[in-house]
């Protein structure tokens, strides 16, 4: 049972006593850093909900603005007691996601400061680390489910000169095994880029490098809008993230494609 003494109803809300909870998240997600009644999340944080969801919560009367003028979410005692409520489960899921993403951000910073740390990162975690890096740099991202990617692990989007650009990123992390990304991996990415809409570019990142046949197929790679990046590119992306987090400056979206592809083949 929750501590009911924390729940108040100072405005006679017909739904009963409630507590006010924070609606910001402890990570930088540009798509969730929008203006909310003249307020932005604190530096290094994002809103917990999308703009559409915040509007719905306001319409339901669940949002109030505190003395600091920042929005707060009403969480009702009745919802805390009822296990089948529709609001508790998303909050719990969000807390787990926040913990994971904060951990991935810490790993990215460790790689930036000491590249040898990359060798100790699990392959699936590296995909999550790079998602955090890309989002904090300014990309809109989508992480595919393990084994369900069909040739890529991350989908990135940004806008340049009014045009939406899509990047499909495949990550291979076999550092220390002696295995390198070869033609089968490259061909799978080329095939999916070829079937994608115009403005789509593929990026194959391999921490252990590439086989000779991949390196020798550079002309084919360029022809099919696919670029290659090795260990140094992965470290470089983490270092850009470190610099961005220290300075607190956002990278213009028009610069993101150049930043992403700089130093690739």
Tens digit of pLDDT at every position of the chain (265 positions): 556 778 888 888 888 888 888 888 877 777 788 888 888 888 778 888 888 888 888 888 899 887 667 899 988 887 766 555 444 455 555 567 777 878 888 898 899 999 989 888 888 889 889 988 888 888 888 888 665 556 788 888 888 877 888 899 999 998 878 788 888 888 888 888 888 877 788 999 988 888 888 777 666 666 668 889 999 999 999 988 888 776 655 566 668 888 888 888 8
Q: 68 in helix, strand or coil?
A: coil
Q: What is the pLDDT of residue 233?
A: 92
| Domain segments of the chain as ranges | 4-85, 93-261
What pLDDT score does 93 carry?
Answer: 55
The residue with tokens 């899921």 is 93
Q: What is the pLDDT of residue 169?
A: 92
pLDDT at res. 87: 47
User: What is the predicted pLDDT for the residue at 249?
Assistant: 58
Q: Which residue, among 258, 184, 186, has the nearest Cα to 224 in the 3D structure?
A: 186
Q: Which pLDDT score is estimated for 231?
A: 92
Under CATH, to which class is 93-261 assigned?
A: alpha beta
117 CB-near residues (< 8 Å, 6+ apart): 107, 110, 111
Q: Classify 144 as helix, strand or coil.
A: coil
Predicted TM-score of the model (pTM): 0.66
Query: How far is 216 from 40, CA to CA, in rounded Å?
Result: 49
Tokens 């951000």 correspond to 105
């Amino acid at each position: 049972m929750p501590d009911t003494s924390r729940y108040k109803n100072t405005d006679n809300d017909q739904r009963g006593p409630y507590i006010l909870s924070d609606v910001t998240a402890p990570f930088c997600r540009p798509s969730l850093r929008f203006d909310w009644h003249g307020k932005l999340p604190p530096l290094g944080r994002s809103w917990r909900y999308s703009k559409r969801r915040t509007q719905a919560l306001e319409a339901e009367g669940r949002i109030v603005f505190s003395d600091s003028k920042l929005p707060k979410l009403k969480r009702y005692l009745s919802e805390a007691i009822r296990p089948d409520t529709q609001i508790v489960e998303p909050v719990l899921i969000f807390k787990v996601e926040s913990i994971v993403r904060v951990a991935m951000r810490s790993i990215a910073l460790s790689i930036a400061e000491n590249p040898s740390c990359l060798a100790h990162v699990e392959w699936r975690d590296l995909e999550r680390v790079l998602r955090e890096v890309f989002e904090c740099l300014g990309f809109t991202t989508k992480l595919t489910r393990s084994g369900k990617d069909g040739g890529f692990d991350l989908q990135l989007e940004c806008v340049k000169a009014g045009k939406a650009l899509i990047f499909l990123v495949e990550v291979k992390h076999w550092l220390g095994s002696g295995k390198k990304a070869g033609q089968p991996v490259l061909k799978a990415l080329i095939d999916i880029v070829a079937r994608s809409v115009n403005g789509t570019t593929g990026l194959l990142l391999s921490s252990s490098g590439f086989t000779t046949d991949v390196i020798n197929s550079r002309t084919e790679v360029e022809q099919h809008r696919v670029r290659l990046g090795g260990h140094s590119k992965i470290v470089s992306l983490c270092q850009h993230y470190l610099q961005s987090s220290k300075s607190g400056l956002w990278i213009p979206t028009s610069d993101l494609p150049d930043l992403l592809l700089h130093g690739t083949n």
